[in-house]
Homo-oligomer: A and B are copies of this chain.
Amino acid sequence: MRKIDVCLSPELIHLYDVPSLAVVVVDIFRATSCMVTAFAHGAKEIIPVEKMDLCSAYGAKGYLTSAERNGVTPAGFDFDNSPFSYQVDKVKGAKICVTTTNGTVAIRKSRKSPALYVGAFLNISRVAEALKKWEGDALIVCAGWKGKPNLEDTLFAGALIDLLHGSYHVADDAAMMALGTYKEASANLMQAVKGSSHVNRLLGLGIEKDISFCLERDVYPVLPGLRGNKLVLK
């Protein structure tokens, strides 16, 4: 049976043979939740970049821009890092350039995958369907927080593995731990994440509404994936 594993931090990505794997990149709070929301509202493409000045340069070329550092948005960008900011008309048909603290790093480090998808609870069943069709092994890459593993991305990894039961084999310890962490918390994810360091950091920014929304499942049955340097709908 095909195997699914979890990379708990982008800092560990060199330990995995990315060019042979389907990869799901996840940054629940909030980069990949925002990307899924943007595509569901008609975005045409999203270019993830790591540097803010490059993001601004895309802005000068007609892209809408989105930036986040340490949970907040610097001045001069069109979107902040809230999924609600993408639920607006101007997203329809837009090309957007995005830079975030963790999520865009995770995408860059996974870019050699032949099938890179963007996952969130908001589109989790759609991602599971795609992996069921993929004929090789798969890896879930958690964006984490500045290199450290985080709870919410690990919970997503466990939830996705749970959906793939019967299609993929769990053979590695990180995947086992993610699945166990999810099963323990699945009855009330909000309760589970409220103790986490990143959520406390975000709650300090007054975005409890975002947290709650990013934990909802299958709101948007869209599948963003990487083509070249761009995310597009698959």
**Footprint of B on A, CB under 8 Å?**
8-9, 11-12, 15, 145-151, 154, 171-174, 176-177, 180-181, 183-185, 195-198
Q: Is the CB of A148 within 8 A of B12?
A: yes
Q: Is the CB of A197 within 8 A of B184?
A: no
Please measure, in the bound complex, the distance between the C-alpha atom of A192 and the C-alpha atom of B30, giving whole angstroms: 33
The oligomer's copy count stands at 2
Q: Taking CB as reference atom, which chain B residue is nearest A195?
A: B176
Q: Is the CB of A198 within 8 A of B173?
A: yes
Please measure, in the bound complex, the distance between the C-alpha atom of A174 and the C-alpha atom of B153, giving whole angstroms: 12
Q: Which of B9, B146, B171, B183 touches A197 (beta carbons < 8 Å)?
A: B171
Most chain B CB atoms below 10 A, which of A177, A184, A198 = A177
Given A11-B11, A15-B11, A146-B15, decide whether A177 and B173 contact each other with a Cβ distance below 8 A: no
Given A12-B12, A147-B12, A147-B15, decide whether A196 and B173 contact each other with a Cβ distance below 8 A: yes
Overall SS of chain A's interface: helix
A144 to chain B, nearest CB (A): 8
Please measure, in the bound complex, the distance between the C-alpha atom of A201 and the C-alpha atom of B196, giving whole angstroms: 33
Q: Contacts of A177 on B, CB cut-off 8 Å?
A: 149, 151, 154, 177, 181
Q: List 30 A-B contacts (CB under 8 A).
A: A8-B8, A11-B11, A11-B12, A11-B15, A12-B12, A12-B147, A15-B147, A15-B148, A145-B173, A148-B172, A148-B173, A148-B174, A149-B177, A150-B173, A151-B173, A151-B177, A154-B173, A154-B177, A172-B197, A173-B197, A173-B198, A176-B196, A177-B177, A177-B181, A180-B180, A180-B184, A180-B185, A181-B181, A183-B184, A184-B184
Q: Is the CB of A8 within 8 A of B184?
A: no
Q: Contacts of A147 on B, CB cut-off 8 Å?
A: 12, 15
Q: Contacts of A197 on B, CB cut-off 8 Å?
A: 171-173
Inter-chain pairs besides A177-B177, A180-B180, 12 sampled, C-beta below 8 Å: A8-B8, A11-B11, A11-B12, A15-B148, A148-B173, A149-B173, A151-B173, A151-B176, A151-B177, A173-B198, A180-B185, A184-B184
Q: Contacts of A174 on B, CB cut-off 8 Å?
A: 148-149
Q: Contacts of A8 on B, CB cut-off 8 Å?
A: 8, 149
Please measure, in the bound complex, the distance between the C-alpha atom of A184 and the C-alpha atom of B147, giving whole angstroms: 26
